[in-house]
Amino acid sequence: MKSRITLLILIAGLSINALAQNKYICRNGHASFYSKAMAENIEAHNNQTSAILDQETGELAVSIPITGFQFEKALMQEHFNENYMESGKFPKATFRGKIVNYESIDLNASKNSVDISGDITIHGVTKPLLISGVLENVSGDLVGSTKFDLKVADFEIKIPKVVINNIAETIHVTVDLELKAPAN
Amino acid sequence: MRKYLTVTLIGCILGIHTLKGQDDLLDLLEQESNQEETTDITYATFKATRVINGQSVEMTSAGVLSFIIAHRFGKISDGIDQFFGLDQSTIRFGLEYGISDKLNVAIGRSSFQKTYDGYIKYKFLSQSTGARSFPFSAVLYSELAVNSSDFPDPDRKNYFSSRLSYTHQILLARKISKSFSLQLTPTLVHRNLVETELDENDIPALGAGARIKLSSRVSLNAEYFYQFSEPNREKTFDGVAIGFDIETGGHVFQLHFTNAQGMIERYFITETRDDFFKGDIFFGFNINRVFTIVPNKEAK
């Protein structure tokens, strides 16, 4: 009986471990966005982006804490969080997706052009998103980069008329991730 | 039989684990990231560095210069002749600079009593949530004001030091919810020269300020300063103010009604001679505008 319990615990322990294995993890990725408008251009950088890639299924999840976006102007950063993104209510922007045609991708190749299809959630609103990017294999770790555009209005972010010339309708987003190879 | 049942059960549980897929992936990511849980410092307790007349716990950020123009018009109760006070006005210009996010210095000048002022604000505690949470923000405030107008009695031996007054405050505030913040301000005002021997040079007071956000850019603010000085309470009224803050891009406009005509602590806390509740009300406004002098280096 004792050996059976030990076996049960061992198997349970292994199954929990199995969740963390075969996952590439990035903890301090970089995400930035750029808005080009008549009155001014706005740029912000976030170095607290985290991501996880499942080696077995090609699934990718990315999480970006909104208060991690750094602006040149402190007041702009405060307004971004307090008035536009409402970071208190929606602290993170997340993406869940899957690499398209993952069966034909070999992660050990030095460079892969990939399409990732999934959903992005910003300000509590989820929209489908298809992004194209590059995955480079650098000594086993994967360096991923992608660029895509998002429409501010899609995510119920209100821009008051008074600053309509300061904020673009379409924002250009860049994401760079260094996904560390799984421990095994 | 039992043996096979147990193994099958375990097999099913393991199977369910791997089937959960994507939801687990994001949760796993959250777990991995939460290992280094961050502390979130509470921001935007008030929309500006002033509640109305008095200081708020908001600081001007590092490398930022804040320009404040404050206007107080005449008494509304003066009637149509004075166009309800709009015919007269006093003004204060002030410049506030953020040496760091926690240390601000400022200078200013008021036309009321031709007074120059300078102050230091130091935020020594910040309200925060997350890994290390703390319930309120606390700021130390020290101001020196110099009244440069003519002495009331030129025949008396007047000293320069008689022009001076000092104000020391500890601002304690808590952002209670997204829309409601409360501040308590224990204060000590010291005036080097007072009118009569019976007047007190040192007047302790307690200020209370509150703000309710009506929308993301508009808030309703109110403020009251209670003086702990019997002699002074007989000559003056406590300073009361109520108003709106309107935020647009780089400006914050504060429009308010107050019974205090002075814009420096010494005047609006200890020398207010008008009764708010009898209609001796001054309409006034503050305009705050920020300029980024040294850009945030982390924005790269």
> Does ipTM surpass 0.90 in this model?
no
Read off the pLDDT of residues B236-249 as tens digits, 9 standing for 90 and up.
999 999 999 999 87
CA distance A50 to A176: 10
The angle subtended at Cα B136 by Cα B135 and Cα B140, nearest 5°, is: 150
pLDDT reported for residue B288: 92
Span B101-121, mean pLDDT? Answer: 95
User: In this model, does residue B2 exceed pLDDT 80?
Assistant: no
pLDDT reported for residue B199: 87
Mean per-residue pLDDT of chain B: 89
User: In this model, does residue B168 exceed pLDDT 80?
Assistant: yes
Share of chain B above pLDDT 70, in %: 92
Rg (CA), chain A: 20
Which positions ≥6 away from B240 have C-beta within 8 Å?
A: B223, B224, B225, B258, B259, B260, B276
CA distance B1 to A173: 59
Confidence of residue B19 (pLDDT cuts 50, 70, 90): very low
A63–B10 C-beta distance less than 8 A: no
E strand or H helix at B141: strand B137-147
- Choose the mutation target among A24, A45, A72 for the interface with B, i.e. most B CBs under 10 Å: A72
- One-letter-per-residue 3-state SS of A140-162: CEEEEEEEEEEEHHHHCCCCCHH
B249–A27 C-beta distance less than 8 A: no
E strand or H helix at A122: strand A111-122
Read off the pLDDT of residues B132-143 as tens digits, 9 standing for 90 and up.
899 999 999 999
Structure tokens at A145: 């980069």
Check if the beta carbon of residue B278 is closer than 8 Å to that of residue B128: no
φ, ψ of residue A136 to 5 degrees: the values are: -105, 135
Total beta-carbon pairs less than 8 A apart between chain A and chain B: 108
pTM > 0.95? no
- Per the rule left: phi > 0, alpha: psi between -120 and 50, beta: everything else, B148 is alpha
Confidence of residue B23 (pLDDT cuts 50, 70, 90): low
Span B16-29, mean pLDDT? Answer: 65
Residue A96 has its nearest CB partner, among B10, B14, B22, at B22
pLDDT reported for residue B32: 72
Beta bridge partners of B211: B181, B221
Residue A54 has its nearest CB partner, among B25, B290, B292, at B25
Give the gap in angstroms from C-alpha B175 to the nearest C-alpha of chain A: 12
Burial class (CB in 10 A: 0-12, 13-18, 19+), A128: exposed
Q: Encode chain A (184 residues) as per-residue pLDDT tens digits.
A: 667 766 666 665 555 544 557 899 999 999 999 999 999 999 999 999 999 999 999 999 999 999 999 999 988 999 999 889 999 899 999 999 999 999 999 989 999 999 999 999 999 999 999 999 999 999 989 999 999 999 999 999 988 888 889 999 999 999 999 999 987 6
Token match 């891009």: residue? Answer: B249
The beta strands (E) that lie in A10-78 are given as 23-36, 41-54, 59-65, 69-71
